Amino acid sequence: MTSAFCQTSLLVVQPTPFCNINCTYCYLPHRTSTKRLSLETAEPLFQKLLRFPTVWDSVTVVWHAGEPLVLPPDYYEAMFQLIERVAPPSLKVRHSFQTNGTLITPAWCDFIKKWNINVGISIDGPAEFHDNYRKMRNGTGSFERTYKGMKALQDAGISFHVISVLTLESLLQPEKMFEFYAVNGIDYVCFNIEEQEGAHSRSRFVNETAGDASYRAFLQKFLELSFRSEQFVPVREIEHALRAIAAHGQQMSNEEAEPFRILSVDCEANISTFSPELLGLEHHAYGKFEFGNLLTDNFEKISHRITSSKLYADVAAGVSKCRAECAYFGLCGGGAAANKIFENGSAASTETASCRKLMRSVDVVLDLIEKLPASAVAEELAKRNRAEPPAAPLHQL
C-alpha cells in the first residue's frame, strides 16, 4: 500500500521509560518511572499502527526510549507473538534492541537468536571514558556490567553494533578508543556526540568549540589506525559520508526531517514523529511533541494534527533554510529536528553540533579520497566484514 506520505521505515516503541542506570548526559526525563506497555494496550496499538497507510511492506521496531531489557524475555515473547498475530500478513517486521547491555544474560542471548533481533550496545569505549558518564544508580561506573553483557553476546555468536558517545575526554584519545574496539572484536561502531536535549540541557560538546576540531582529528586518526590495523573497525559516520559523496550530488533525504518516516510511540500509546528523542519531551515554543493516542485517534486525525502543527511548519522552514544556506545540504537533507530545537530554540533553524559532526566526517572522507580514488575507498570499506548496521538514527543512548 502507498500513501501521500513517505514510507515509515522505523517504529520506535517504548516498552517502559525506566532505565536501570543513570547516565549523566541522558535526555530521558521519566527514566525512574516503572510504567510499562501492557499487552492490553499493545494489541489495539499495533493493530492500528501496523495498518497505517505509511507502513508498507517492511518495518523495523526499535524497542527503546528507556532500557528495554529491564523487562524480561517472557514479556517480549508475548509482545512479539502478539505483533505477529495482528500484523498484516504481507508485512515484514524486524525487531531491534538498543540497550546499555548491563542486563544481558545467556537467556537473553537465546531469545535474541530465536527472534533474530538486531542489537546495539551503548558503550563509550574503555572504562576510563565510559564510567565518567554511564553510571549505575549508586554512582559507580557501569562499564564492567556492560562489558560482561557484550561478551555474553559474543560468546553466543551474536553480532551487534556499538553506539559510543564521544566526549571531550575520549576525543583526545583516538588510539585508546581504537584499541578498545579492535581488541574486543567490535565490528561496527556509531559515534554519537554528547547532545543537548530534554533532561540534558547543557552539553560540553555543543558549547565548547574545541569539540569540533577534536572530532575531526579524532576521526582522521581513528580511520588511519583502522586502515593500518589487521582489525578494521567500520564506523557509521565514515560509511554515511562515503555513501553521500558517492551519490554524486543526488540529494540525500533525512528521516528526521520528514513526517512519518519515523514514528515513535510511548508506553501509553501516545505518538510522535520526526526525531525519536522528541517523544516525551516538551519545549516552551512547541509544548509536547505528541500528535495523538493510538487507542483513541485514527490515522486521519493524527496526520491532520501533524501537518497542521507548528513543528511541521518549522521543520519544513528549517529544511528550506538549510537548502539555501548550507553547502552540505545535498549530503544531509536537512538535519534533526530535536537538535535544532534544543540547541537553536527552533526547528526553523540550521546548523547544530550534529551538523558539524557530519561536516567534519565528510571532510575526513574527502581528505582520504584525495589520497585514494573514491572507488578504492568504497571497495576497501565494503570488503571488510562487519555486523549489520543499526536500524535507527539513534542518538545518545
Least distance CB 331 / ligand SF4 (angstroms): 7
Kindly state the number of chain residues that form the binding site for ligand SF4, as judged by CB under 6 A: 11
* Residue 214 touching ligand SF4 (CB under 6 A): no
* Residue 332 touching ligand SF4 (CB under 6 A): yes
* Residue 355 touching ligand SF4 (CB under 6 A): yes
* Residue 393 touching ligand SF4 (CB under 6 A): no
Query: Which region, judged by CB under 6 A, interacts with ligand SF4, from 10-18, 190-198, 214-222, 323-331?
Result: 323-331
Alpha-carbon distance 185 to 386, whole Å?
A: 10
Q: Looking at residue 256, what DSSP letter applies? A: G
* Residue 329 touching ligand SF4 (CB under 6 A): yes
What are the residues whose beta carbons fall under 8 Å from the beta carbon of 138, sequence distance 6 or more?
none
* Residue 66 touching ligand SF4 (CB under 6 A): no
Least distance CB 317 / ligand SF4 (angstroms): 12
205 contacts 168 by C-beta, under 8 angstroms: yes
Q: Among all residues, whose Cβ is closest to ligand SF4?
A: 335
* Residue 351 touching ligand SF4 (CB under 6 A): yes
* Residue 358 touching ligand SF4 (CB under 6 A): yes
Minimum CB distance to ligand SF4 smaller for 54 or for 350: 350
What are the contacts of 237-243 at 24+ separation with CB within 8 A?
237/190, 237/191, 237/357, 237/358, 237/361, 238/361, 238/364, 238/365, 238/381, 239/381, 239/389, 240/358, 240/361, 241/331, 241/358, 241/361, 241/362, 241/364, 241/365, 242/365, 242/374, 242/377, 242/378, 242/381
From the list 350, 353, 395, 397, which residue makes contact with ligand SF4 (rule: CB under 6 A)? Answer: 350
- Provide the β-strand partners of residue 98: 120
CB atoms within 10 A of CB 295: 13
Q: Which residue is listed with cell 525512574?
A: 32
From the list 198, 335, 390, 393, which residue makes contact with ligand SF4 (rule: CB under 6 A)? Answer: 335
Minimum CB distance to ligand SF4 smaller for 98 or for 354: 354
Minimum CB distance to ligand SF4 smaller for 4 or for 324: 324
Total H helices, total E strands in the chain: 15, 10
Minimum CB distance to ligand SF4 smaller for 129 or for 329: 329
Handedness of CA 111, 114, 120, 126 (dihedral sign): positive
From the list 66, 334, 390, 393, which residue makes contact with ligand SF4 (rule: CB under 6 A)? Answer: 334
Least distance CB 271 / ligand SF4 (angstroms): 24
The x, y and z cell numbers of residue 283, run together, are 519545549
190 contacts 163 by C-beta, under 8 angstroms: yes
* Residue 326 touching ligand SF4 (CB under 6 A): yes
Among candidate residues 297, 283, 128, 267, the one with its CA nearest the CA of residue 201? 283
Alpha-carbon distance 269 to 87, whole Å?
A: 17
Minimum CB distance to ligand SF4 smaller for 127 or for 317: 317
Contact code string over 293-322 relative to ligand SF4, x by CB under 6 A: -----------------------------x
SS3 assignment, position 132: helix
Minimum CB distance to ligand SF4 smaller for 60 or for 273: 273
DSSP H helices, the chain, are 39-49, 73-86, 106-115, 127-133, 143-155, 174-183, 204-207, 210-228, 236-246, 299-307, 310-325, 329-332, 337-339, 353-371, 374-383
Least distance CB 37 / ligand SF4 (angstroms): 32
Q: Which residue is listed with cell 531469545?
A: 111
Minimum CB distance to ligand SF4 smaller for 5 or for 329: 329
Minimum CB distance to ligand SF4 smaller for 281 or for 355: 355
Minimum CB distance to ligand SF4 smaller for 323 or for 384: 323
Minimum CB distance to ligand SF4 smaller for 98 or for 350: 350
The residues binding ligand SF4 (CB under 6 A) are 322, 326, 328-329, 332, 334-335, 350-351, 355, 358
